[in-house]
Structure formats: structure tokens, C-alpha cells
Structure 1
């Protein structure tokens, strides 16, 4: 068993993430995982990412506040425990359009 305590989770830098703090909870340098890694991102009010795609699917779960996820064709605002899947190659941007911080989990293949 490999445990990551939130207090010990290490930050990581994600390109084109603005006013966000990203923490690695599982996988990559945090723990030995075979297929996925899990990150937790805290978005300040106005925090956002650029509209970019990835070669792998991504799953997002909002665990605090509200986060708007935009694709080239649609926009949806997710609240507490709402989730979405983005297909490989599907561009997305995350935006916190509220005046309160928001937090979102990310799960994706290694």
C-alpha cells in the first residue's frame, strides 16, 4: 500500500495553468502506479488553463466550488462531485468564473 497524505502531497508545474496550484496525489513521482495518475488542482477565482488537447483521455471531478470546462464546441459548469470525461485529442480549458476558490481532481493514464 502506498499512501499520500494531503499535507505531504507535492506540487507540480503544469504548463499553461494560471492562478492554479496542482498537487500530485498518486502516480508519477508520488507513488508507483501502473496505468493512471491522480492530481488535485486548486483554482483561485479567475484561475484557468489554456484551451489544449491531450493524446490521452482525462476525467475531472469537482470536489469544491464550481469549475467551467470549455471545449471548442461547448461549455459546462460543474459543481460539487459533478464529473466529466474528455476523449483523447479533445481540447479543453478549465475556468473558475466565481469569486470563491475551486478544486478539481484529475485522473489520466500515465
Structure 2
């Protein structure tokens, strides 16, 4: 078992994330993982990400507050315990338009190992 205490979770610094604190709970520098990694982002009021896409799917769960998820199809507000899935290659931007910090859980698959 690998336990990561939230207060000890390693911080990481993704590009194009503004007024946000991102930590990893499992995978990468937070410990071993075979199929996915988990992270939590705290988004301050006015915080956001730029519109961008990743090669793998993303799953978000809002743990606290309100987060607006923008895609090419429009924008949806997610509240506590609401979730969404973004397909591989689907551009997205996150926004916290409220006056309170928001927390969002991120789950993403790990890259597949290269064949040897």
C-alpha cells in the first residue's frame, strides 16, 4: 500500500495553470502506479487554465467549490461532487469564477511503456 497524506503530497507545476496549487496524490513522484495517477488542484478565485488538450482522457471531480469547465462545445458549471470526463484530444479550460477557492480531483492514465 502507498499512502500519501494530503499535507505531504508533492506539488507539481503544470504550464498554463494560473492561481492554482497542484499536488499529486498517487503516481509519479507521489509513489508507484501502474495505470493512472491522481492529483488535486486548488483553484483560487479568478484562477484558471488555458484552453488546451492532452493526448489521454481526463476525469475531474469537484471536491469543494465551483469550477467552470469550458470546451469547444460550451461551458458547464460543476459543483461539489459533480464530475466530467474529457476525451483524448478534447480541449478544455478550467475557471474559478466564484469568491471562494475550489478543489478538483484529477485522474489521468499513465503513459503506456514503450515496447522494448
Asked if these proteins are the same fold (TM beyond 0.5), I'd say yes
Size of the alignment, in residue pairs? 110
Alignment of 1:42-53 (within 5 A): 42-53=42-53
Does residue 57 of structure 2 align to residue 87 of structure 1?
A: no
* Contiguous gaps of at least 5 residues in structure 2: 111-116
Runs of 4+ deviating beyond 4 Å: none
CA RMSD of superposed structures (Å): 0.5
Per-residue Cα deviation, 1:48-100 (whole angstroms, up to 9, x for no partner): 00000000000000000000000012100000000000000000000000011
2:75 aligns with 75
Ranges in structure 1 where 5+ consecutive residues have no aligned partner: none
Task: Answer with 1 or 2: which has the greater Rg.
Answer: 2
TM-score by length of 1: 0.99
TM-score (norm 2): 0.94
